[in-house]
Structure 1
Amino acid sequence: MRRRILVFLGTLLICLQSALATETIVSSLPGASVVGRGVLSYAFWDVYKVTLYARDGRFDFNKPFALSIEYFLAISGKDIADRSMREMRKQGFSDAAKLAAWHEQLKAIFPDVRNGTVLSAVYAPEQQTTFYNGPTIIGTIAGDDFGHAFFGIWLDEKTSEPRLRRALLGLS
């Protein structure tokens, strides 16, 4: 009986965190609705579910939008930052000084995640990217260069996950 209660409370907490993250995006991005969503999987493991939000559900890289990622596995914040940098480099971003600075910022921003953790990022063109853990702001990084490089991981034509990109953009 005790185990069932713990499982129920854990499930409730995961649902609550996801709902709070969605509420945070909608309040940060008035008129936002889902453009698309998909799951990143490797071999037999689902790693995370990612959802793209934009005003009126219409994505435009030159207008505010947000990505929300619900993790299904435990991953260290450092590993998330490291992988983000590798993906930015794969897309051709090569300014070593900026990449090094962003890497340090991302390592400081990203927490360790576990099943049910929801991290979100809201992009405000010509301003900044704001990161959230559930409803809590955990950091910001200024500039369009960063925004395009970071969100390009999922949304650029050169992404390493074209099927996921199509799902996010509502093309599949």
Structure 2
Amino acid sequence: MKKQFIALFMIIATVFTVNAQQTIAGVKVDSKLSLEGQNLVLNGAGTRVKLFMDMYVGALYLEKKSSNAAEIMNSKEGAAIKLNIVSGLISSDKMISAINEGFENSTGKKTAPLKAKIDKFKSFFKEEIKKGDFFVIINVPNEGVVVYKNGVKKGSVDGHDFKKALFGIWLCDKPADKDLKNDMLGK
């Protein structure tokens, strides 16, 4: 009887674990992302906090899970970062300012070689940003980084050098938010 009870408990626990949905700061985080021909799995997700306030939920999707930030940044495989805006304090100007700071930190202040690509990327954030908006930033092998806002394709930026610096905003040694980095890495 005891063995049957344990077996039943294990089956129930497995079913609930497999079907569990992750919700962070009120945002349902999907366990998979399929876009641009890429089928990616959730590596980890967390909240970008600034001045004790949640700004956005960031989720990292990869072809296969990894906790190695350097490998993820250097990889040429499919990968995506999804940002769900959860604060009304985020504006287009503030997002662009944060992007500038992120690239400075990610590249060790060596943004000059990427200036044209960074400027193109920032142009995808010029429209009004409001609470509830979401962005998907996806690396498509042999094509570049493609950006979507609320499911609408905004454009793309080519080059592995750009992808590495971009993903470094969240994963470099001086990330936008250390706790979010750890959450994205599944730590």
> The TM-score by the shorter chain falls in which range?
0.7 to 0.9
What is the Cα deviation at residue 51 of structure 1? 0.6
**2:179 maps to 1:158:** no
The 1-side partners of 2:61 and 2:105 are apart by 25
2:163 corresponds to: 147
Note closer, same or farther for the CA distance 1:81–1:103 as it changes in structure 2 (3 Å cut): farther
- When residues 125 and 152 of structure 1 are mapped into structure 2, their CA distance, relative to the original with a 3 A threshold, is farther
From the CA coordinates, give the structure whose radius of gyration is larger.
2
Answer yes or no: is the 8 Å Cα contact 1:127–1:144 preserved in 2. no
Given the superposition, is the C-alpha separation of residues 67 and 29 from structure 1 closer, same or farther in structure 2, using an over 3 Å criterion?
farther
Runs (5+) with no aligned partner, structure 2: 1-26
1:51, 1:107 → 2: CA distance? 20
Q: Which residue among 117, 140, 152 is the counterpart of 1:102?
A: 117
Structure 1 residue 134 and structure 2 residue 150: aligned?
yes
C-alpha displacement at 1:97, in angstroms? Answer: 5.0
| Residue equivalent to 2:60 | 52
Q: Which moved more, 1:71-80 or 1:36-45?
A: 71-80
- Larger helix proportion, structure 1 or 2? 1
Q: Is the 8 A contact 1:29 1:55 kept in 2?
A: no
Decide whether aligned partners of structure 1 residues 94 and 126 sit closer, same or farther in structure 2, where only a CA change above 3 A counts.
Answer: farther
Matched, 1:121 2:118: no
Match of 1:6 in 2: none
Q: CA RMSD in A?
A: 2.6
What is the CA distance between 1:41 and its match in structure 2?
A: 1.1
Which residue identity is paired with 1:84?
Answer: I
Rounded to whole Å, the distance in 2 between the matches of 1:103 and 1:77 is 15
Aligned to 1:12: none
Look up the match of 2:79. Answer: 65
User: Pick from 14, 30, 51: which aligns with 1:43?
Assistant: 51
Contact 2:99–2:122 (Cα < 8 Å) also in 1: no
Q: Are 2:100 and 1:85 equivalent residues in the alignment?
A: yes
Question: Counterpart of 1:26 in 2: which secondary structure?
Answer: strand
Distance 1:66 1:29 in 2: 12
Unpaired stretches in structure 1, ≥5 consecutive residues: 1-17
Question: Do 2:49 and 2:177's aligned partners in 1 also have CA atoms closer than 8 Å?
Answer: no
Alpha-carbon offset, residue 126 of structure 1: 4.8
